[in-house]
Amino acid sequence: MTPELAELHRRITDKIAQLNKRISFRERPTYFDESERISRFHAEAYVYENVLKMIAEVSE
């Protein structure tokens, strides 16, 4: 894996971790309905995970 791809992989992994923290925070019981926001965070994390898979395929 090139240094550029390694840096991109690290940044995306950090972003996924950040999204997972946001999701777990929003899943707590609240007065407001956070289901739409949680769905958006899940969708964004899913896209980032697919990008990580593509990076892994390219770096083989």
Q: Are 55 and 3 in contact (CB under 8 A)?
A: no
Domain housing 25: 3-58
pLDDT of 28: 87
Structure tokens at 53: 């898979």
Structure tokens at 37: 């926001």
Rounded to an integer, what distance in angstroms lies between the CA atom of residue 33 and that of residue 26?
9
pLDDT at 60 over 80: no
Whether the model pTM is above 0.85: no
pLDDT of 1: 76
The number of folded domains in the chain is 1
For 2-59, the pLDDT digits (tens) are 888 899 999 999 999 999 999 999 988 888 889 999 999 999 999 999 999 999 898 8
